[in-house]
């Protein structure tokens, strides 16, 4: 992770810790989320507890069916509700915006003390990244903590669904949820036809030209449509590299997606006004699309469904 190291030189250690934890990609520093579900090898009887599931932090044993889940990952929240584990959830982080009725808290997942979570009396805590030693603290409190690092592929999504289902006692629902995702994707691909094939795109994560390569989860969503990421040549060291305006102009993408509409108030009009950008094909064809920032950093079923539908509605032959 280059950027956290870099900021260490320039900013305080406190900023570094938070940034390293929250920066997209940096959070993926943990082991990939593709580890098999240990519980999946046992007979598929529902509610077999205790159950041991693979966590990004090793494996975690959940002694009984959790009924007070604290979910500090917006994508995992979407998965829990899709699986039918919603009634077991007592708290979600402030970025879990779907479903709207999820019990949102002020937590960000960047808390540094497990004590913060105790008033909710959780019996399972789900996190997307390590924040200080919170996971170890939770272990000392005998509260299982499940680390589901950011997915980078659809296979990651499937394995995280299976792990969450095993951990919450909803194994039977996995195939239904996966089928729904597949149906959504198939419908979107049918609608788009060949419109995306070979088309290039630039996804802007931040107006200083930080972007995402096809090796990220959002990149894999574009890949479904046969689209090509102009940032891939910049992805040797980071899947969220910074590129330059000059390179964007040279690559001249067919489509531009602005995933910095919330953080940085970017919009197609402001994008087109940047020096030299009125020459871009995407600007001339009005193929600059503002999207919610969260599409670049979330991998839940709802985000997937929304984004592939948006892509299908956007791509034109």
24 binds other proteins (CB under 8 A): yes
238 binds other proteins (CB under 8 A): yes
The region, left, alpha or beta by phi > 0 then psi within -120 to 50, assigned to residue 171 is: alpha
Classify residue 106 as exposed, middle or buried by CB count within 10 Å of its CB (0-12, 13-18, 19+): exposed
260 or 305: whose CB is closer to other proteins?
A: 260
Q: Report yes or no: 190 and 310 within 8 Å, Cβ to Cβ.
A: no
Size of the site for other proteins (CB under 8 A): 55
Helix or strand run (H / E) with residue 105: none
Site string for other proteins, 287-316 (x = CB under 8 A): ------x---x-------------------
| 255: Cα separation from own chain's centroid | 22
Degrees (nearest 5) of the Cα angle 272, 274, 277? Answer: 60
109 or 144: whose CB is closer to other proteins?
A: 109
3-class secondary-structure state, position 273: coil
269 binds other proteins (CB under 8 A): no
Residue with tokens 């509610």: 47
Query: Looking at 39, 122, 235, 300, which residue binds other proteins (CB under 8 A)?
Result: 235
30 binds other proteins (CB under 8 A): no
110 binds other proteins (CB under 8 A): yes
97 binds other proteins (CB under 8 A): no
Cα 222 to Cα 310: distance, rounded to the nearest angstrom = 11
Classify residue 204 as exposed, middle or buried by CB count within 10 Å of its CB (0-12, 13-18, 19+): buried
Distance of closest approach, residue 253 Cβ to other proteins, in angstroms? 13
Q: Report yes or no: 68 and 122 within 8 Å, Cβ to Cβ.
A: yes
Residue 104 main-chain phi, psi, to 5 deg: -70, 140
Residue with tokens 């959940």: 62
Question: What residues numbered 111-130 form the site for other proteins, per CB under 8 A?
Answer: none
Cα 267 to Cα 207: distance, rounded to the nearest angstrom = 10
29 binds other proteins (CB under 8 A): no
Instruction: Give the interface segment with other proteins, choosing from 176-184, 207-215, 282-290, 307-315 (CB under 8 A).
Output: 207-215
Site string for other proteins, 167-206 (x = CB under 8 A): --------------------------------------xx
Query: Looking at 40, 67, 264, 283, which residue binds other proteins (CB under 8 A)?
Result: 264
Cα 127 to Cα 147: distance, rounded to the nearest angstrom = 5
Distance of closest approach, residue 38 Cβ to other proteins, in angstroms? 31
11 binds other proteins (CB under 8 A): yes
40 binds other proteins (CB under 8 A): no
36 binds other proteins (CB under 8 A): no
Cα 268 to Cα 305: distance, rounded to the nearest angstrom = 23
> Interface with other proteins by CB under 8 A: which residues?
2-3, 6-7, 9-12, 14-15, 18-19, 22-24, 94-95, 108, 110, 205-210, 231, 233-238, 241-247, 249-252, 260, 262-265, 270, 274-276, 279, 293, 297
């Amino acid at each position: 992770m280059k950027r956290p190291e870099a900021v260490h030189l320039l900013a305080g250690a406190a900023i570094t810790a938070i940034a390293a934890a929250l920066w997209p990609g940096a959070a993926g520093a943990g082991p990939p989320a593709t580890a098999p579900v240990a519980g999946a090898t046992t007979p598929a009887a529902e509610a077999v507890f205790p159950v041991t599931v693979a966590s990004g932090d090793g494996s975690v044993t959940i002694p009984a069916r959790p009924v007070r889940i604290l979910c500090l990952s917006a994508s995992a929240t979407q998965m829990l509700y899709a699986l039918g584990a919603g009634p077991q959830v007592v708290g979600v982080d402030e970025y879990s915006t779907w479903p709207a009725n999820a019990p949102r808290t002020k937590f960000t997942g960047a808390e540094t003390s497990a004590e913060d979570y105790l008033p909710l009396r959780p019996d399972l805590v789900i996190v997307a990244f390590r924040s200080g030693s919170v996971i170890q603290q939770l272990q000392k409190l005998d509260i299982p903590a499940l680390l589901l690092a950011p997915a980078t592929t659809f296979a990651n999504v499937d394995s995280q669904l299976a792990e969450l289902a095993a951990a919450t006692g909803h194994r039977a629902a996995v195939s239904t949820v996966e089928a729904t995702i597949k149906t959504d994707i198939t419908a979107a691909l049918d609608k788009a036809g060949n419109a995306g094939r070979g088309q290039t795109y630039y996804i802007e994560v931040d107006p200083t030209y930080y972007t995402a390569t096809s090796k990220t989860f959002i990149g894999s969503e574009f890949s479904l449509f046969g689209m090509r990421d102009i940032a891939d040549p910049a992805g040797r060291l980071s899947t969220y590299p910074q590129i330059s305006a000059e390179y964007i102009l040279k690559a001249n993408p067919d489509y531009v997606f602005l995933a910095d509409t919330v953080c940085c108030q970017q919009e197609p009009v402001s994008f087109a006004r940047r020096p030299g950008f009125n020459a871009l094909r995407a600007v001339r064809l009005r193929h600059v699309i503002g999207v919610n920032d969260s599409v670049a950093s979330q991998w839940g079923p709802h985000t997937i469904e929304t984004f592939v539908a948006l892509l299908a509605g956007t791509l034109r032959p």
